[in-house]
Amino acid sequence: MLKPKIIFADSFNLLDDVRKQFAALGNILQLTLDQREALLQEVSDADLVIAEYAQIDETLLNRGRKLKGILVYGTGTNHVDLGAVAGKGIPVTNTRGANAGAVAELTFSLMLNCIRRTAVAHRYVQGANWKSGDSGDLPDEFTGIELSNKILGIIGFGAIGRRVAGIGKGFGMNVCFYDPNLHGKLSPEVPARPCNDLDSLLQEADIVSVHAPLTPATCDLLNAHKLRLLKPSSILIVTSRGGIVNEEVLADMLARKEIAAAGLDVFRTEPLEKTSKLLTLDNVVLTPHIGGSTREAVVNISRTLIEQAAAIITGKTPINLITPANV
Ligand code: NAD
């Protein structure tokens, strides 16, 4: 029997033994993100496509007449036209939760960097600027603040938002969240209180952390009007998706010290454009979309993907089915 054709539409990390399991399950075609034309040609006889960032749109779906499933590597499904896929009756899955711990920990790495100026202090020492043993001679900017007793406002209280809440509690933070899909559905052990609306969270929080997906409803969610609700002392952390926060307004506000600092792992355009004002500021910490990149996450994602692929190929229902309604 002809083996199913499985396209890896971009070059994500997989465990070696899971790569072998995929090779046993089907004929694998490895593409890279810039091979859009090849993807459009090769999808015509493909059974499965696995994509982390590659666009899965109507053009591709119209060509993929044999497609039995789309597997998203990671959680964000903003590169998939979910309406179009649903219209074709093709199942879409993601690996929700598999890298939640990784993203939650990077969130705190960015947060701690913002409040203790770790990256700046590192450059200060490496640049041989540390010339006096008197702590009073150090620049004032190295007197940070502590997380304990600060209000952490989480936007999007899913797998990652909840992990962030748990870690925040561990730091002694007072955690609140805004998530329009969760009214009244939380169990009492969840360590956070709901905020009635986004505006109150933005006005109240000392540190705001964004964990909502990028959807038509969240695109530009933190626009100029919303960002101006933040306190001048506040810190904004974004590890979910660029496009949710207006980067130009944010950069201007950071430059004018209208908010204290920001830590960003994701950007509207990736890689971040060389012309971005964010690159010129010293009250930002920027990372190249590495939130979900840990060895542990690769293990979890690899195992989830092979399970989902095997289920779809053998006609079973895979775990983590995504619909336009449950994003
Ligand atoms: P999840 O689906 O478990 O949770 C997302 C939550 O956001 C849900 O509870 C949903 O109700 C909520 N939400 C939806 N619309 C909202 C809105 N308008 N306002 C506030 N909340 C809203 O997803 P997750 O696993 O927590 O991941 C969240 C996002 O993080 C993903 O969509 C992905 O884009 C991003 N992510 C980034 C990285 C990275 O490497 N930086 C890695 C993994 C995931």
Q: How many residues does the chain have?
A: 327
- Under a CB-based contact definition with an 8 Å cutoff, are residues 247 and 278 in contact? yes
- Taking Cα atoms as reference points, which of 54, 63, 53, 61 lies closest to residue 85? 61
Q: What is the pLDDT of residue 190?
A: 78
CA of 66 to the centre of ligand 1 (A): 30
The label of the residue with tokens 């890298």 reads 99
Q: Give the pTM.
A: 0.96
CA of 296 to the centre of ligand 1 (A): 19
Q: What is the pLDDT of residue 239?
A: 98
Whether residue 289 is predicted with pLDDT greater than 70 in this model: the reply is: yes
- Under a CB-based contact definition with an 8 Å cutoff, are residues 88 and 66 in contact? no
Residue 206 lies in a domain: yes
Whether residue 94 is predicted with pLDDT greater than 80 in this model: the reply is: yes
Whether residue 307 is predicted with pLDDT greater than 90 in this model: the reply is: yes
Report the atom number in ligand 1 closest to the C-alpha of 96: 25
Residue 322 lies in a domain: no
Helix orientation angle between 100-116 and 159-170, rounded to the nearest 10 degrees = 50
Based on the domain organization, do 306 and 176 belong to the same domain?
Answer: no
Using CA positions, which residue lies closest to atom 32 of ligand 1?
213
CATH of the domain at 141: 3.40.50.720
Residue 324 lies in a domain: no
Based on the domain organization, do 276 and 194 belong to the same domain?
Answer: yes
CA–CA gap between residue 76 and residue 55 (Å, rounded)? 12
Q: Over the stretch 180-206, which tens digit does the pLDDT of each residue have?
A: 998 756 766 778 999 989 999 999 999
Q: Stretch 79-95: mean pLDDT, rounded?
A: 95
Range of the domain at 302: 5-98+295-313
Residue 236 lies in a domain: yes
Based on the domain organization, do 160 and 264 belong to the same domain?
Answer: yes
Residue 323 lies in a domain: no
Q: Stretch 300-309: mean pLDDT, rounded?
A: 98
Whether residue 324 is predicted with pLDDT greater than 80 in this model: the reply is: no
- Taking Cα atoms as reference points, which of 221, 118, 227 lies closest to residue 179? 221
Question: If you average pLDDT over every residue of the chain, what do you get?
Answer: 96
Based on the domain organization, do 66 and 203 belong to the same domain?
Answer: no
* Pocket of ligand 1, beta carbon within 6 A: 74-76, 96, 99-100, 103, 155-161, 178-181, 211-214, 217-218, 239-241, 265-266, 289, 291-292
Based on the domain organization, do 57 and 75 belong to the same domain?
Answer: yes
Residue 208 lies in a domain: yes
- What lies within 8 Å, CB to CB, of 255 at 6+ separation is 277, 281
CA of 93 to the centre of ligand 1 (A): 15
Total tally of structural domains belonging to the chain: 2
Contacts of 83-90 spanning 24+ positions with Cβ under 8 A: 83/324, 84/57, 84/58, 85/56, 85/61, 86/323, 86/324, 88/61, 90/61
Q: What is the pLDDT of residue 244?
A: 98
Residue 320 lies in a domain: no
Q: Over the stretch 98-119, which tens digit does the pLDDT of each residue have?
A: 999 999 999 999 999 999 999 9
